[in-house]
Amino acid sequence: MAILEVNNVKKVYTTRFGGNQVQALSDVSFSVEKGEYVAIMGESGSGKTTLLNILAALDKATAGQVLLNGKNLSAIREKELSGFRRENLGFVFQDFNLLDTFSLQDNIFLPLVLAGKNYNEMRTRLMPIAEKLAINEILSKYPYEVSGGQKQRAAVARALITNPQLILADEPTGALDSKAAEGLLAMFQSINDEGQTILMVTHSIKAASCAKRVLFIKDGQVFHQIYKGSSSDEEMYQKISDTLTVITTGGGKHE
């Protein structure tokens, strides 16, 4: 069953005075099955972030539609949008986006508090997640007191705690050192193994090679995709870098 369907999405930015039009996405279509782990790769300016913003319902597509669990995102009313995002989507950002005014625990609780859950329920939900992400020792610490890897794990916990349909990760390893990045990717894999659907946008071949499928975006379109199948991370790494070489040297468009 497809959890996410993206059909012919187009996004055109118009400059303020209506003069220039910039086409960020020309025609993007793909779907994500439940339990999949998909990475989207592309160069700067290829439209990755635009796509992610549309998927996150932070931005609206100019044409085409995005269905999450069969529900059209553009049909959701403004008032319900943030509630919908809270319940169905989990976000992991490159720069963590943790609030300095909250302890890690409170940062993780934030979406639940907004949803009006009581403290005991939040606590019971948090415990297994914190255990798995190895942050139960530092829950009472503040974001500025812990390392980047720990911050990102807390952010992952915040994304997981609502049991979302889909986790959207925007360059999650971008601000981490290689060791922390490896740890995080391993964590993503194990979360995915437990059935969590993940969609990750990334630059890093290393990160993408952990995913089960990699989509390549170029000039606002899905240019190519690779399935990992039974190949190892290393083989996947090789495949991805080969593909990127083809793309950057302009090897023509695959039909």
Partner 1 sequence: MSKFFYGRLAFSNLKKNSGLYLPYILAAIGTGAMYYIMGAISKDEGIQKMPGSMDIKLILGLGCGVIAIFAVIFLFYTNSFLMKRRKKEFGLFNILGMEKRHIGKMMFWEMLMVAGVSIVCGIVAGILLNKLVVLVLMRLVDLEVPFGFSISVDAIVNMVILFVCIFAVTLVYNLFQVQKAKPIELLQSASQGEKEPKTRWFLAIVGVLCLGAGYGIALFVEDPMSTLLLFFLAVILVMAGTYCLFTAGSIAILKLLRKNKNYYYKTSHFTSVSGMIYRMKQNAVGLSNICILSTMVLVMISGTVSLYMGVEDTMRERYPKEINLTGYGLTQSGKETIHELTKQAVAEQGIKIEDMIEYDSISFSVYKDGETLNLLDGKGGIPKGKMSILEWITMDDYENLGGTHAELSEDEVLVYALHGDTNDEKYRFQDKSFQIKEYLSELSIAGTTSNVVCDAYFVVVKDKAVLQELYEREHAVYQDRASDIQSLVSMDVTGGEEQEIACVKRIWELVESYNQPLPESDQIDLQATSRTKQKESFLVFCGGFLFLGIFLGFVFLMATVLIIYYKQISEGYEDKARFEIMQKVGMSKKEVKASIRSQILKVFFLPLVMACIHLAAAFPMMNRLILLFGMSNAPLFAICTVVTVGVFAVIYLIVYGITARSYYKIVG
**Helices vs strands, H then E, count in the chain:** 8, 10
Kindly give the residue spans of alpha helices, DSSP state H, lying in 89-160.
104-114, 119-133, 148-160
Site for partner 1 in 159-218 (CB under 8 A): none
Three-state secondary structure call for residue 130:
helix
Q: Find the binder of partner 1 among 10, 34, 86, 132 (CB under 8 A).
A: 86
Rounded CA-CA distance 79/93 in Å is 24
Kindly indicate which of the ranges 24-32, 75-83, 200-208, 245-253 contains the residues binding partner 1, using the contact rule CB under 8 A.
75-83
User: Could you give the CA distance from residue 123 to residue 159 in angstroms, rounded to a whole number?
Assistant: 15
Report the nearest approach of partner 1 to the CB of residue 102 (Å).
6
Contact 89, 39 (CB under 8 A): no
How long, in residues, is the chain?
Answer: 255
Instruction: Candidates 9, 47, 55, 91: give the one binding partner 1 (CB under 8 A).
Output: 91
User: Cβ 204 to partner 1, closest distance in Å?
Assistant: 22
Dist. CA 158–CA 111, nearest whole Å:
7
Q: For partner 1, which stretch binds (CB under 8 A), given 18-26, 91-99, 205-213, 222-230?
A: 91-99
119: helix, strand or coil: helix
**Candidates 26-34, 59-67, 78-86, 132-140; binding stretch for partner 1 (CB under 8 A):** 78-86
79, two tokens: 């008032």
Give least dist CB 117 to partner 1, A.
8
Interface with partner 1 (CB under 8 A), residue from 1, 15, 124, 144: 144
**Sole binder of partner 1 in the list 109, 188, 216, 223 (CB under 8 A):** 109
Q: Say whether residue 237 binds partner 1 (CB under 8 A).
A: no
Distance CA 195, CA 3 (A): 12
106 binds partner 1 (CB under 8 A): yes
Could you list the residues that contact partner 1 (CB under 8 A)? 58, 79, 81-83, 85-86, 91, 93, 97-102, 106, 109-111, 113-114, 116, 118-119, 122, 142, 144, 158
